[in-house]
């Protein structure tokens, strides 16, 4: 048996040289599954991923669900697994609910990196737990991002008063960590009360009506932290609809063009831009490195660019505004 295997692999080796299908020449297919397809954050991530795929001659397949929800993401993941790509990059829409579906990919021999969000506790390749099998996590430092938001909002409201977090839903690693980082940092401001978090299910309209409802209950509301793109956009719209522009201060996570317009108009004080193109670029590069036999780091952290009135018109900032 051993002998037969050796002969077979030798034969394959010969064929590979003759056909010139060495690993480095192979056109790899790398799938990128975003949290949802119609979100400027993931559209920008895709652009970075496409740029890297072009650089290494890989094919990028971008396939995702219509909303940020495991119920719509898991069938997309199953369909991608069935096509047997060489690598899966995915932003899991829930820390727990994507573990088993992703295990299926790992069991099928498809290597995985999670981008933006994580499964389990986000610490991979430790040999412990049931969710450490992805090779790497490539993302912003969301705890830090939440702390930056808290400091900015505290400053905007004069370090006193009432604020709240407009958030997506519990179970999403990124937005959970932003809220955690925000609340921890807010403990340094004893004169600021953080009201109960409002969960909007990634629906900007819901975030806008929640802002008005919180304001109706708290006429002395001073500020809101929108913990992702739709939360921030919705909360800002709610402030405007309530006629409170400049009175209820808004700190936004994410930087689509609409938020930048709102900084110019004074509706939003500051936006914390992530670097989604960088996440996509390094996601593909790490996948390619692994596929060509190189080792890769288990975590890659990407940065932030804070945008406010003082730098919003700066040309160097423009590349951090998300693509639509």
Name which position in 44, 166, 167, 174 contacts ligand T6T (CB under 6 A): 174
Q: Using the Cα atoms of residue 256, residue 258, residue 263 and residue 269 in order, give the sign of their dihedral.
A: negative
Which 264-303 residues touch ligand T6T, going by CB under 6 A? 274
Name which position in 94, 116, 179, 269 contacts ligand T6T (CB under 6 A): 116
The H-or-E segment that residue 144 falls in is helix 142-156
- Tokens 């932290």 map to which residue? 225
Checking DSSP bridges between strand 161-167 and strand 198-199, what pairing results, if any?
parallel
Burial class (CB in 10 A: 0-12, 13-18, 19+), 208: buried
CB of 91 to ligand T6T, least distance (A): 6
- CA-wise closest residue to 215 among 149, 163, 267, 151: 163
Name which position in 33, 35, 185, 235 contacts ligand T6T (CB under 6 A): 35
Nearer to ligand T6T, 117 or 210 (CB): 117
Name which position in 73, 114, 117, 258 contacts ligand T6T (CB under 6 A): 117
Nearer to ligand T6T, 253 or 282 (CB): 253
CB of 93 to ligand T6T, least distance (A): 8
Contact 120, 135 (CB under 8 A): no
Site string for ligand T6T, 210-239 (x = CB under 6 A): ------------------xxx---------
**Three-state secondary-structure class, residue 95:** coil
Q: Which residues bind ligand T6T (CB under 6 A)?
A: 35, 39, 41-42, 116-117, 174, 228-230, 253-254, 274
């Amino acid at each position: 048996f051993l002998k037969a295997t050796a002969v077979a692999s030798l034969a394959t080796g010969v064929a590979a040289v003759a056909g010139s299908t060495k690993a480095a020449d192979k056109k790899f297919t790398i799938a990128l599954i975003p949290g949802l397809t119609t979100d400027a954050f993931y559209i920008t991530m895709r652009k970075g991923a496409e740029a890297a795929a072009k650089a290494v001659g890989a094919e990028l397949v971008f396939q995702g669900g219509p909303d940020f929800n495991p119920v719509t993401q898991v069938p997309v993941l199953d369909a991608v697994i069935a096509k047997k790509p060489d690598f899966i990059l995915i932003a899991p829409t829930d820390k727990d609910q994507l573990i088993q579906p992703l295990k299926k990919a790992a069991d099928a021999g498809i290597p995985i990196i999670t981008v933006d969000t994580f499964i389990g506790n986000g610490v991979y390749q430790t040999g412990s737990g049931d969710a450490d099998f992805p090779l790497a996590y490539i993302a912003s430092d969301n705890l830090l991002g939440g702390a930056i938001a808290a400091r900015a909002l505290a400053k905007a409201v004069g370090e006193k008063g009432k604020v709240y977090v407009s958030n997506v839903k519990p179970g999403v690693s990124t937005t959970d960590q932003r809220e955690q980082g925000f609340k921890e940092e807010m403990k340094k401001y004893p004169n600021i009360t953080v009201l109960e978090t409002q969960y909007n299910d990634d629906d900007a309209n819901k975030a806008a009506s929640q802002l008005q409802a919180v304001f109706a209950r708290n006429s002395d509301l001073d500020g809101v932290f929108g913990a992702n793109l739709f939360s921030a956009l919705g909360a800002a719209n709610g402030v405007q609809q309530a006629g409170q522009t400049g009175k209820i201060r808004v700190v936004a996570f994410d930087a689509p063009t609409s938020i930048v317009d709102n900084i110019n108009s004074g509706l939003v004080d500051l936006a914390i831009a992530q670097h989604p193109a960088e996440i996509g670029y390094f996601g593909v590069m790490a996948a390619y490195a692994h596929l060509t036999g190189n080792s890769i780091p288990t975590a890659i952290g990407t940065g932030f660019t804070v945008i406010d009135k003082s730098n919003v018109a700066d040309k160097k900032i423009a590349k951090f505004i998300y693509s639509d």
